[in-house]
Copies of this chain bind each other. A is one copy, B any other.
Amino acid sequence: MSTKKYVYMFTETDETMKNLCGGKGANLGQMTKLGLPIPQGFTVTTEACTYYYQNGEKLSSDIIEEVKKAMKKLEEITGKEFGNPNNPLLVSVRSGARVSMPGMMDTILNLGLNEEVVAGLASKTGNPRFAYDSYRRFIQMYSDVVMGLSKKRFEEIIDEMKEKRNIKLDIEFTADDFKEMIIKFKNFYKQEMKAEFPTEPKEQLFGAITAVFRSWENPRANYYRKMNGIPASWGTAVNVQSMVYGNMGETSGTGVAFTRNPATGENKLYGEYLINAQGEDVVAGVRTPSQIETLQEVMPSVYKQFVELSQKLEQHFKDMQDIEYTIEDSKLYLLQTRSGKRTAQAALRIAVEMYESGMITKEQALMLVQPQQLDNLLHPQFDTNNLKEVAIVGEGLPASPGAACGKIVFNVKEAIERTQKGEKVVLVRLETSPEDIEGMDVSEGILTARGGMTSHAAVVARGMGKCCVSGCKTLVVKEDEGYILIGDKKFTREDYIALDGTTGNIYGGKVKTVPATISGNFEKFMNWADEVRRLKVRTNADTPRDAKQARAFGAEGIGLCRTEHMFFDPDRIQAMREMIVSDTTEQREKALEKLLPMQRGDFEELFEAMGNFPVTIRYLDPPLHEFLPTSEEDIESIAKELGITAEALTNKVRSLHEFNPMMGHRGCRLAVSYPELAKMQTRAVIEAYINVKKRNPEYTPVPEIMIPLVGEVAELKYVKNIVCETADAILKENNMSVDYKVGTMIEIPRAAVLADEIAKEADFFSFGTNDLTQMTFGFSRDDAGSFLGEYYNKRIYEFDPFAKVDQKGVGKLIKMAATLGRETKSNLKLGVCGEHGGEPSSIEFFNSVGLDYVSCSPYRVPIARLAAAQAVIKSKK
């Protein structure tokens, strides 16, 4: 017997209990504590969910007993009775994970109804229309969520009835219409399920709780979790809350509001409501709701109360809140509150203004923006000049800011297929639903005909940082015919449209973009991050353009310049190929002589772009066969260029073939075989230094020469000796000196394990987490796609170790190497130049193990700066 407690009344919980009760449950408890008008209820914990899965997807008897007891207590609190037609208690059953996953899991409202209870409710409220509306909604939701029946048939029944009755809106249905509808729904249910629709409220309740637990594992929740790095092991809680009714008539309603504008961050209540409706009507975007300001006229006192309460919540939680509420017969109830999803612009503005108003500290402000969100601000914006030349063909609500341009797609499948082919697409839908999440993710932007600023499309798009224009009234979607109309303009699958999510404008063509800059709130905020962080942030850059962009984004040096990228240039690859097909050292040296001035020129530009910041130059890394052609045709023509026979070139290509090129003749192994390569590269680095220094005496470039793929100290020493002999000779000749560094990448497990030895010969370590991850896991990134899918499905891995560093395994090696390295050389500089260097959770890890810097692509530099600051703040807790 378990001694765990699986069910908590709202009166027993508070905001500190998110892990156990989920965000929604914890906040409902906290709001109860704060004395706010909360329909009471209870929470079935996340641990119950985990237990449910461990128990073969069954509710255990102790959980069932606890729920029954909680139900009894709820009956006492509400003075109503579950299943009693004379005084019925109805409940909602809703999911609530540790972190909010809007729309991803299931909700059931009005649970507890059957023929007797609905009749009792009708007579007790004197509002049969309300009662039967509630019942038909319950049947619809229960059939879908608990029993897995398709929603479509229910919607068809409604549409058929509308047609017959010649009405347009649900709201025009009468009580009798709903009664008729209920009969039709139940018939359909019976036909499909070969059983009557369940009438026993307790059966309904446990069915619904089970369904919510089950919905934790539905495909869209899985996708969302993967996208947001939420472990499946967390589970969801279930909240059972007594119903209040927004569908009781013209003095009732339901709505959603944000304490500040989630798109812009403006400090102004922002929301929508629908009169005579239940919650999902607002979110689903079926009716376009009214702006919250208008409530001031419709129900002034309710509006006043809501404004007060929402400010109280924001003050309490010290963050912008997303509040669901219901007005039942002119009485206001809050159904939930949570930190609101917001755009990056809004997040920055809210953080800055809350700090400046004295509501929060700088460190608290820094925690209010998710580093990943910044990505959005860094990508190109529409070129305003070009924008004037492209016609505006329509407009919608500016639901999620950003600039999106692409060809039209109509559904998820199409979006995925076409983006996999490399196309940029805009997803155009009548309205979006939770099933569309993957399609939204891959699209440039989303355009919908229906739905307001709090509709599914808008909320999810803002969460993703994806541009969205919603509720475009002039949009007609003809998916089957393969076109859309915006006003009278027709667009097919091959046409481009462009969306401006900040204005809501829709452009009928392709629009050019310009790079982003950091200014205003963004700049202010990033400066705070810089004050707090300990990790330096460098960039991975191979070109002066990238280097300059990264500097503009605040990079403090280059952490990785991949020299081979310079060799793939069409002007250069021939000299590279000459080098490769050489048979003697002399021939190779001659070919390298041609590459020298080009490489030196590159380094000069990089040094100049980086001023006095360090530039880490990684020596040639890829296997040589990557530079050679593979098709017979190319071999023929390139052999001619090289002045050798096609046969000779074919033989060379063959001789360089490798079974496992990732583990082949590459990295410093090339320099061991061909020391002349390292000599040429050293000459280029040092001569570039000399040239830059002579041209601009105010610059003092800091060259850091990085030897890749080292697995043994003797190997590093061998190459280092070549580097130092070459460099020192050139410097002596020129009567100059420079404190160049020679270090190594730690990307082979053996190097990590023997880091104490390797540190003897290294001025710095840079963790190459891409290769280190591959070799530590023993799978190649190029090939892992074919089986990792099953690993995620089967929960063997929860996330992609190439996206987030695997702290447990790879991280253990990194920590070991850092410790061993510093045991040998306490001032050993440690950095990371794998792609993880720009990923926030990885950055937190790198901060914790004492690295000196991370290096990432230019566009991730601001993200890394913020993540590094947050890592420091979190580490203090």
Shortest CB–CB separation between residue A661 and chain B, in angstroms? 7
Across the interface, which residues of B come within 8 angstroms of A718, CB to CB? Answer: 794, 796
The CA-CA distance from A707 to B669 in the complex, in Å, is 33
A715: interface (CB < 8 Å):
yes
- Which bracket fits the contact residues of A? 35 or more
Q: Which residues of B contact A786 (CB under 8 A)?
A: 658, 664-665
| A780 part of interface (Cβ distance < 8 Å) | yes
- Residues in B neighbouring A747, C-beta threshold 8 A: 778
Cβ-defined contact, B662 with A663, below 8 A? yes
A754 / chain B contacts, CB cutoff of 8 Å: 808-809, 812
Identify which of A54-62, A258-266, A380-388, A768-776 touches chain B. A768-776
Chain B residues within an 8 Å CB radius of A391: none
In the assembled complex, which residues on chain B have CB atoms less than 8 Å from the CB atom of A795?
A: 714
Query: Which positions 666-722 of chain A face chain B at CB distance < 8 Å?
Result: 669, 672-673, 709, 711-712, 714-715, 718
Residues of chain B lying within 8 A (CB to CB) of residue A794:
672, 718
Once the chains are docked, how many angstroms separate the CA of A7 from the CA of B774?
52
CB distance from A356 to the nearest CB of B (A): 47
Closest CB in chain B relative to A596 CB, distance in Å: 23
Bound complex: CA A784 to CA B749 (Å): 17
Instruction: Tell me whether A810 is interfacial, beta carbon within 8 Å.
Output: yes
Tell yes or no: A790 within 8 A of B by CB. Answer: yes
Check if A791 is an interface residue, CB within 8 A of chain B. Answer: yes
Q: How far is the CA of A711 from the CA of B787 in the complex (A)?
A: 14
Interface centre among A709, A778, A783, A797 (most CB of B within 10 A): A778
Give A794 to B720 CA distance when docked, in angstroms. Answer: 14
Most buried by B among A774, A786, A790, A796: A796
Least CB separation from A710: chain B residue: B778
Among A660, A718, A753, max chain B CB count under 10 A is at A660
Q: Which of chain A's residues 758-812 have a Cβ closer than 8 Å to chain B?
A: 771, 774-780, 782-784, 786-787, 790-791, 794-797, 806, 808-810, 812
State whether B750 touches A809 (Cβ < 8 A). Answer: yes
Contact between chains at A787 and B673 (CB < 8 Å): yes
Distance A665 CA – B775 CA, assembled complex (angstroms): 14
- Complex interface: chain B residues within 8 A of A810 (CB): 750
A662 to B780, CA, bound (A): 8
CB neighbours (8 Å) of A777 from chain B are 711, 748, 750
A813 at the interface (CB under 8 A from B): yes
Q: Which among B658, B661, B663 is the interface contact of A778 at CB below 8 angstroms?
A: B663
Q: What residue in chain B is nearest A749 (Cβ atoms)?
A: B749
A800 nearest CB across to chain B (Å): 14
- Residue from B669, B715, B779, B809 within 8 A of A664 (CB atoms): B779
- Which residues of the partner chain B approach A711 to less than 8 Å between Cβ atoms? 776-779, 809
A529 to chain B, nearest CB (A): 33
Contact status B749-A660, CB under 8 Å: no
Residues of B within 8 A of A664 (CB): 779-780, 783-784, 786
- Closest chain-B Cβ to A774's Cβ sits at a distance in Å of 7
Q: In the complex, how many angstroms separate the beta carbon of A261 from the nearest chain B beta carbon?
A: 43
- Residue of A774, A779, A795 with most partner-chain B CB within 10 A: A779
Number of copies of chain A assembled together: 2
Is B771 touching A749 in the complex (CB atoms < 8 A)?
A: no
Q: How far is the CB of A517 from chain B (nearest CB, A)?
A: 39
User: For residue A748, which residue of chain B has the nearest CB?
Assistant: B778
- Chain B residue with Cβ nearest A782: B659
Q: Least Cβ distance of A695 to chain B in Å?
A: 38
The one of B672, B797, B809, B812 that contacts A791, using a Cβ cutoff of 8 Å: B672
Give the distance in Å from the alpha carbon of A709 to the alpha carbon of B712 in the complex. Answer: 25
Q: In the assembly, what is the distance between CA of A786 and CA of B672, in Å? A: 12
| Chain B residues, Cβ within 8 Å of A709 | 778
A659 touches B659 (CB 8 A): no
Cα A687 to Cα B228 in complex, Å, equals 46
User: Do B771 and A778 touch (CB < 8 A)?
Assistant: yes
Contact present for B660 and A663 (CB under 8 Å): yes
CA distance A673 to B786 in the complex (A): 9
**Nearest-Cβ distance from residue A707 to partner chain B, whole angstroms:** 13
Determine the distance from Cα of A659 to Cα of B810 in the docked complex, in whole angstroms. 22
Q: Which of B660, B715, B797 contacts A783 (CB 8 A)?
A: B660
Instruction: Return the chain B residue nearest A656 by Cβ.
Output: B786
Q: Are B715 and A665 in contact (CB under 8 A)?
A: no
Q: With both chains docked as a complex, state the minimum distance between the C-beta of A275 and any C-beta of chain B, in angstroms.
A: 51
**Other-chain residue from B662, B673, B753, B806 in contact with A660 (beta carbon distance below 8 A):** B662
Q: Which residues in window 195-230 of A have CB below 8 A to B?
A: none
Contacts known (A672-B796, A790-B673, A812-B754); A660 close to B780, Cβ less than 8 A: yes
A802 to chain B: closest CB distance in Å?
13
1/0 contact string of A720-759 vs chain B (CB within 8 Å): 0000000000000000000000000001111001100000
Known: A791-B672, A796-B672. A753 touches B780 (CB 8 A): no
Contacts A715-B796, A718-B794, A796-B714 given; does A783 touch B753 at CB 8 Å: no
Report if A750-B776 is in contact (Cβ < 8 Å); known contacts: A660-B661, A663-B660. yes
- Complex-state Cα separation, A810 to B749, whole angstroms: 9
Nearest chain B CB to A677's CB is how many angstroms away?
13
A777 to B658: give the CA distance in the assembly, Å: 16
Query: A662 contacts which chain B residues (CB < 8 A)?
Result: 659-660, 663
B-side contacts of A673, CB under 8 Å: 787, 790
A797 proximity list for chain B (CB < 8 A): 712, 714
Please, how many angstroms separate the alpha-carbon atoms of A795 and B665 in the complex?
Answer: 18
Residues of chain B contacted by A748 (CB below 8 angstroms): 776-778
A659 touches B780 (CB 8 A): yes
Report the minimal beta-carbon distance from A746 to chain B, rounded to whole angstroms: 11
Tell me, in angstroms, the Cα distance from A783 to B661 when the chains sit together: 8
**A749 cross-chain contacts in B, Cβ below 8 A:** 749, 775-776, 778, 813
Interfacial chain B residues near A806, Cβ < 8 Å: 750
Cα distance, A636 to B808, chains bound together (Å)? 47
Q: How far is the CA of A564 from the CA of B333 in the complex (A)?
A: 66
Shortest beta-carbon distance from A403 to chain B in Å: 36
Other A-B pairs beyond A673-B787, A749-B776, 13, CB < 8 Å:
A658-B782, A663-B663, A665-B783, A711-B777, A712-B797, A718-B794, A718-B796, A748-B777, A748-B778, A749-B778, A750-B776, A753-B813, A754-B812
What are 16 residue pairs bridging A and B, where the CB atoms are less than 8 Å apart in the complex?
A659-B782, A660-B780, A660-B782, A663-B663, A663-B783, A669-B779, A711-B809, A712-B797, A715-B791, A718-B794, A748-B777, A750-B778, A750-B806, A753-B809, A754-B808, A754-B809
Interface, chain A (partner B; CB < 8 A): 658-665, 669, 672-673, 709, 711-712, 714-715, 718, 747-750, 753-754, 771, 774-780, 782-784, 786-787, 790-791, 794-797, 806, 808-810, 812-813
Closest 8 CB pairs of A and B: A748-B778, A660-B780, A663-B780, A664-B783, A750-B809, A749-B749, A659-B782, A660-B660
